Structure 1
Amino acid sequence: MANFNRVILLGNITRDVEIKYLQSGMAVTELGLAVNDRRKGQDGQWIEETTFVDVTLWGRTAEVAGEYLGKGSQVLIEGRLKLDTWETDGQKRSKLRVVGEKMQMLGSAKGGGGGGNRGGGGASYDDGADYGEPMSAPAAPQRSTRNAPPPPPQDDIPF
């Protein structure tokens, strides 16, 4: 059976970015990301909901986030879900978080936020390294779509 674990989030950073380094020299940072959703309720009124997500970035991606991002910065994160479990005072605890593998910075530098489709600048970063456990199914290779012909149709659809 095939598995797929992919998350794409666009939101604002909830606190300043703090980089930590492991004994091996690997950089790591934990971001808080606020993702807003707007929908109509049963009464026809618009309802604003904010979901807070913890994101972990590793390596050069973590360093770039610490250098260029701050509280309020808008960022797009692509990664995978990971369930952390631990025990505190005899009680089992768990927390779902995102391990960020790609990052797209939107808007202006540190704390500027904004941007998006309103003419704000942006830059993306993916150091190409694989941090964490391997996924069950390998990810498809990414190709540049600039001046490239469309891929041929696939006859072997796995579902």
Structure 2
Amino acid sequence: MINKVTLIGNLGKDPEVRILDSGTKVAKFPMATNENYKDKSGEWQTKTEWHDVVLWRGLAEQAERQLKKGSLVYVEGKLTSRKYQDRDGNDRYITEIVARIIRSLDRKESGGMSSSFPSSDDDPFSGQDENVNNSGSQSSGNEPDEDDDLPF
């Protein structure tokens, strides 16, 4: 079974970082993605969807240092749902994206792409996927030949 989410969008506000009693850092931020389409009258419309993104440990630290409201980011992770009770004791449900990989897509002032993260020790799934390297790409050990002309 697969539970994988990939998004490209903008932060709705600066990451909110907390340190849990255990000393673990967690960051949260809302992220907006846009979909453009033509309505029945032929006019272009934009639909914005909001997503709650959660980052753990080293990813949370890096997001705190490198991201801010409006930042364009690539996020890859999994969907999680949880139930909690509000102050009045009412049950509430929330769906979040627990990020595993996040990359800033904002350009630096010099014109180059900004650095990306995570590093190898930032895996929130603590070793669930040993085939992920620092750049976040999958490595199966069976790398294709350089002459491979497949389009993917």
Q: TM-score range by the shorter chain?
A: 0.7 to 0.9
Give 1:123's aligned residue: 115
Deviation at 1:132, TM superposition (A): 5.9
Structure-2-length-normalised TM-score? 0.76
* Aligned residue pairs, count: 136
Give 2:139's aligned residue: 143
Gaps of 5+ in 1: 113-118, 151-159
Letter in 2 for 1:124: S
User: Is 1:9 matched up with 2:7?
Assistant: yes
What CA distance in whole angstroms lies between the structure 1 residues aligned with 2:129 and 2:45? Answer: 36
What CA distance in whole angstroms lies between the structure 2 residues aligned with 1:90 and 1:18? Answer: 24
Structure-1-length-normalised TM-score? 0.73
Percent of matched pairs sharing the same residue: 32
What CA distance in whole angstroms lies between the structure 2 residues aligned with 1:124 and 1:133? Answer: 20
Give 2:135's aligned residue: none
Deviation at 1:60, TM superposition (A): 0.7
Letter in 1 for 2:96: R
Over 4 Å off, 4+ runs: none
RMSD: 2.9
1:16–1:71 contact (8 Å) kept in structure 2: yes
Give 1:43's aligned residue: 41
Cα shift readout 1:18-73 (whole Å, capped 9, x = no counterpart):
32212222211001111111111222211101111110001111111110111111
Give 2:100's aligned residue: 101
Give 2:31's aligned residue: 33
What CA distance in whole angstroms lies between the structure 2 residues aligned with 1:120 and 1:53? Answer: 28
